[in-house]
Structure 1
Amino acid sequence: MKQDEPIVDMITHFIDIINGFKGFDRKFTNGELVSKILRSLSKDWNSLRMLIENTKDVNTYPLEELYGTLMTYELNNVETKEKTRRIKEEMEELPKRQIALKSTNDEGSSNTNMSDEEFDDLVLLVKKWRGFRNNR
């Protein structure tokens, strides 16, 4: 299976190959077919493959049920990836807030004439610093 190949295309290709073997009188058991499909899945499917191999009897697992499981997994996985992509795009579009504080060259003098805007910036900086320290 190719990395981004839809599961329906992979199943169709698989069925074509199996039908070709039938022309040469080569028959496969259900367990062999299920095992071959599971082995042919790309690494994106590892979690589902392991789940099926560990919870189902591969020799008796119906091929049609496997097809349905694979299609359902692909549909859910595509929706999850799409949601994750949309969230990332939205996060990148949000403006990033930056705080700039004025500095003075007077080391010994205290700045008691702080404007309300400067005071708000300082309060915001202290809150963020405290939040950063608490999250570590």
Structure 2
Amino acid sequence: MKQNETIVDMITRFTNIINGFKGFDRKFTNGELVSKMLRFLSEDWNSLRMLIETIKEVNTHLLEELYGTLMTYELNNTETKEKTRKSKEEMKEPPKRQIILKSTNDGGSSNTNMSDEELDNLVLLVKKWRGFRNNRRF
């Protein structure tokens, strides 16, 4: 089985290979096909392979039943991985915070009447706040 290959793609490839052998008059028993299909699986499928080999007699297991089992396992495994991935992403994402500043009006005075010292303090405060936002880690 190739990396990132779906089970349906693998079954199609396996069937094409077996049909190629039939063209040379090489026939396989159902047990041989099931055994070859189980060996064809990648290491990610080891747990299911061992379970099938332990519980079922490989020689009597139908190839179509194996296909159904593999497709069901892949579907359930994909859904589980997707849920796990989404929950991990949600845990990594820091909570969104918003700062709301209230605007006040001092009877028509404008910010241009600020003293140089007040303006310098405001600039320093903004720089510190930006530095804090850039360096914070969650």
TM > 0.5 between the two?
yes
Q: Give the superposed CA RMSD.
A: 0.7
Deviations 1:66-116 (A, max 9, x none): 000000000000000000000100000134xxxxxxxxxxxxxxxxxxxxx
- Residue type of the alignment partner of 2:90: E
Alignment of 1:41-120 (within 5 A): 41-95=41-95
- Equivalent pairs, count: 95
1:29 aligns with: 29
How many percent identity over aligned positions? 81
Question: What SS does the aligned partner of 1:85 have?
Answer: helix
2:11 aligns with: 11
1:105 aligns with: none
Q: Tell me how far apart the structure 1 counterparts of residues 94 and 59 of structure 2 sit (CA, whole Å).
A: 52
Q: Tell me how far apart the structure 1 counterparts of residues 39 and 45 of structure 2 sit (CA, whole Å).
A: 10
- Residue type of the alignment partner of 1:84: T
1:102 aligns with: none
1:132 aligns with: none
Higher CA-based Rg: 2
TM superposition shift of 1:32: 0.6
Q: Tell me how far apart the structure 1 counterparts of residues 94 and 75 of structure 2 sit (CA, whole Å).
A: 29
Q: Tell me how far apart the structure 2 counterparts of residues 68 and 56 of structure 1 sit (CA, whole Å).
A: 15
Deviations 1:47-78 (A, max 9, x none): 10000000000001010000000000000000
- Residue type of the alignment partner of 2:26: R
1:39 aligns with: 39
Question: What SS does the aligned partner of 1:10 have?
Answer: helix
Question: What TM-score, normalized to structure 1?
Answer: 0.68
Structure 2: give runs of 5+ residues left out of the alignment: 96-138
